[in-house]
Amino acid sequence: MQRKIYLQMHSREEAQQLFWSRFAPHSTGEETIASRMALGRVTAGPVSARFSSPSFHSAAMDGLAVRAEDTFGATDETPVTLRFDFGEAVLINTGYPLPPEKNAVIMIENVLLSEDGKEGLIRAPVYPWQHVRKVGEDIVATELLFPTGHQLRPPDIGALITGGCATIRVRKRPKVVIIPTGSELVTLEDSPDAIPPGKTIESNAIVLAGLAAQAGVEVEITPIISDDFDSIKTHLAAVLATEADLVIINAGSSAGSADYTVRIIEQLGEVLVHGITIMPGKPTILGAIADKPVVGIPGYPVSAIIAMEQLVVPLLAHMQGVYVAPPVAIKAILAKDLPSRSGIEEFRRMIVGRIGANFVAVPLKQGAGAITTLTRANGILCIAAASEGEMHGREVTIELLVPQPQVERTLLCTGSHDLCLDVLGDYLRKQDPAYPLASTHVGSLGGIMALKQGMCHLAGSHLLDPKDGSYNTTYIRKHLAGRDIRIVTLVHREQGFIVAKGNPKNITGVRDLFGAGIRFINRQAGSGTRVLLDYELSRHDLDPDGIDGYQQDEYTHMAVAVAVLSGKVDVGLGIKSAARALGLDFVPLVEERYDLLIPGEMFDTPMMQAVLAVIDTPLFKQTVEGMGGYSTRETGHLVPLD
């Protein structure tokens, strides 16, 4: 294995500066196109009108076209009669040309027409050019319609057509070519039913292409190229010889043994930057070959997107010579500690919502591979390179990924995980697209703590008090004393052992977790499921240390089920619907109640009422029951706290 350390890492600003200064703005040429097709395009030079608009004096109202001088002196006492057959007045519709010699229009509402329709009586004069749209009132031929570098919007196209500009000179759209590389890659189309062992479905190129398209450029994706130095080099050279204005190679940008990109760019041109002090996105390569930018983008999905957004999209705007507004940023209270390595600028995906007067930002997990964190995030926190992280409760600046009003309508749901929350979120969006439900999973007790700190709108919880068999109320009284908390039952659900199909290790109860060679996976401390396990162990007077895997935990029922499915473990404790979703077997242990905990001050808000309305529908209940392991017999019931 050849190991090459980055020679010199650059900060994002340095890298941007080095890269952008190398390529002239709007260097990709110009073209003349039909104005009708020019929406979103950028003017290559100043655009002047060829025609005036209106091109003739026209009536601005329905009424009588007259000579203003003929109306002078008309009053209630001395009305003036204008005869149509003598041409003293002419009936005219809005927009029609003013007859020659006429210079004003009297609104039809102010005219008393005679029975025979041959004359009109008026009781007030008009002044010259009243109610007349004059030649050139809007556009004067030769006047500047748009300066250079203007990005055309729908009304602009209307002004172009009205001003007689059937065609327009615009800047050519840069063409971006994306080369997916990697011997492990297959297309989904080639493997529609299952992924071949050790292979990965290529998805980055289509994401990068979408980001480039949103930046207003043309995009092409080439076939996948294997990890072979010569193949990639030959392919890159061929692409550069075509109309490409910018080439992206994805991935092979790191310094592993199959990471050829940097050496290929070196051989064909110049590597400007290799290694940027950002996370994700560190192994990005910025290069130039024959005056064209060539970018090596890392392979992890989130790294790829961050590198694209931070380094390529702004360059595409620069190449087109347009100003791109920075994203909207808001101040928000951070819901969790976020340690960060000093010297690295870190981009963290967040879910943001408004709680009372404040925005609250909840970090999503940070893996560079976790594309679902980007599909779920509605904001990004950038932790400066100089910082060692941010503390929970501090005010941080979040760049929004969606419009701010949507953030204000985002429901932050946390606490325990249950698959019914997905159903709830789905029906909520069906009922009212304005309310996205964003759920993060921190366990029941974590949810109660989030409620305490004002970091969520609602929390799912199933915390058993072994003393009296009650759920949640004991914990609320203890941790949320004095707070008005409403408890709404979402479901009753079966908890039990999730095991492989056919239950090969023959797990029947909690004692079987102690069997020889039985590998278990636990849930995290503070989760209701962990509380349940510990209760069952103590009830049978069993020592947790005897379980292989008690110390290893996962944060969701599905993660436990996946651990079983993948053969990593033999058994875990979780809900029936998770086992069923993955085709695993399930050994029931108890039925428990799963509630939503809602602060009183939020109970009557429209967003919370929308949630409660969904829970109450027969459709929601039917869908939940259909998933297996659920009862909705008390769904929507308010549980008294005392």
List the one residue from 115, 189, 230, 468 that touches a second copy (CB under 8 A). Answer: 189
10 Å CB burial of residue 631 (0-12, 13-18, 19+) is: middle
| Stated length of the chain | 642
Per CB under 8 A, 136 contacts a second copy: yes
Q: Which of residues 90-129 bind a second copy (CB under 8 A)?
A: 91, 93-97, 108, 128
Query: How far is residue 115's CA from residue 431's CA, in Å, rounded to a whole number?
Result: 58
Per CB under 8 A, 24 contacts a second copy: no
Nearer to a second copy, 174 or 269 (CB): 174
Per CB under 8 A, 216 contacts a second copy: no
Minimum distance from residue 57 beta carbon to a second copy (Å): 7
| Residue carrying structure tokens 């130039």 | 288
Angle at 586 between CA 581 and CA 592, to 5 degrees: 90
Q: Which of residues 348-407 bind a second copy (CB under 8 A)?
A: 367, 369-372, 374-375, 402-406
Contact code string over 247-276 relative to a second copy, x by CB under 8 A: -------xxxxx------------------
Minimum distance from residue 542 beta carbon to a second copy (Å): 23
Compute CA 337 distance to the chain's CA centroid, rounded to the nearest angstrom: 24
- Whether the CA torsion 37, 40, 42, 47 is positive or negative: it is positive
Nearer to a second copy, 172 or 593 (CB): 172
Minimum distance from residue 285 beta carbon to a second copy (Å): 16
Quick one: which of 562, 553, 552 has its CA closest to 527?
Answer: 553
Nearer to a second copy, 402 or 510 (CB): 402
Nearer to a second copy, 78 or 566 (CB): 566
DSSP 605: S
Q: Which of residues 73-92 bind a second copy (CB under 8 A)?
A: 91
Nearer to a second copy, 440 or 473 (CB): 440
Minimum distance from residue 629 beta carbon to a second copy (Å): 14
Per CB under 8 A, 613 contacts a second copy: no
Minimum distance from residue 519 beta carbon to a second copy (Å): 10
List the one residue from 39, 124, 384, 391 that touches a second copy (CB under 8 A). Answer: 39
> Which residues 6+ apart lie within 8 Å of 30 measured at CB?
44, 45, 169, 170, 171, 172
Nearer to a second copy, 159 or 571 (CB): 159
Per CB under 8 A, 213 contacts a second copy: yes
Q: Which of residues 230-249 bind a second copy (CB under 8 A)?
A: none
- Whether the CA torsion 414, 419, 424, 430 is positive or negative: it is positive
Distance (Å) of CA 357 to CA 321, 408, 504, 606? 40, 11, 54, 16
Contact code string over 570-599 relative to a second copy, x by CB under 8 A: -----------xx-----------------
Q: Residues 47, 146: contact at Cβ < 8 Å?
A: yes
Residues in the interface with a second copy (CB under 8 A) total 124
Minimum distance from residue 449 beta carbon to a second copy (Å): 25
Longest dimension (CA), the chain: 115
List the one residue from 397, 568, 617, 633 that touches a second copy (CB under 8 A). Answer: 568
Minimum distance from residue 161 beta carbon to a second copy (Å): 4
Q: Residues 327, 306: contact at Cβ < 8 Å?
A: no
Q: Which stretch binds a second copy (CB under 8 A): 205-213, 350-358, 456-464, 523-531?
A: 205-213
Distance (Å) of CA 556 to CA 75, 337, 415, 445, 495? 85, 21, 11, 14, 13
Query: How far is residue 306's CA from residue 301's CA, in Å, rounded to a whole number?
Result: 9
Per CB under 8 A, 518 contacts a second copy: no
Minimum distance from residue 154 beta carbon to a second copy (Å): 3
End-to-end CA separation in angstroms for the chain: 66
Question: Residue 299, SS3?
Answer: coil
DSSP 424: H
Minimum distance from residue 296 beta carbon to a second copy (Å): 14
Give the CA dihedral 478, 482, 483, 488, nearest 10 degrees.
Answer: 60
Per CB under 8 A, 566 contacts a second copy: yes
- Whether the CA torsion 552, 558, 559, 565 is positive or negative: it is positive
Give the CA dihedral 312, 313, 317, 323, nearest 10 degrees.
Answer: -130
Residue 396: its H or E element? strand 395-400
Q: Which of residues 289-348 bind a second copy (CB under 8 A)?
A: 299, 301, 305, 321-323, 325-326, 328
What residue spans of 71-203 are helical by DSSP H?
154-162
Minimum distance from residue 574 beta carbon to a second copy (Å): 12
Nearer to a second copy, 474 or 605 (CB): 605
Nearer to a second copy, 197 or 502 (CB): 197
Question: Residue 144, SS3?
Answer: strand
List the one residue from 1, 7, 241, 357 that touches a second copy (CB under 8 A). Answer: 1
Q: Residues 69, 126: contact at Cβ < 8 Å?
A: no
Beta strands 144-146; 167-171: pairing state: unpaired
Tokens (6 digits) for 216: 């207003």
Minimum distance from residue 36 beta carbon to a second copy (Å): 6
Q: Which of residues 40-69 bind a second copy (CB under 8 A)?
A: 46, 51-57, 60, 62
Q: Which of residues 425-444 bind a second copy (CB under 8 A)?
A: 425-430, 432-434, 436-437
Nearer to a second copy, 38 or 289 (CB): 38
Per CB under 8 A, 140 contacts a second copy: yes
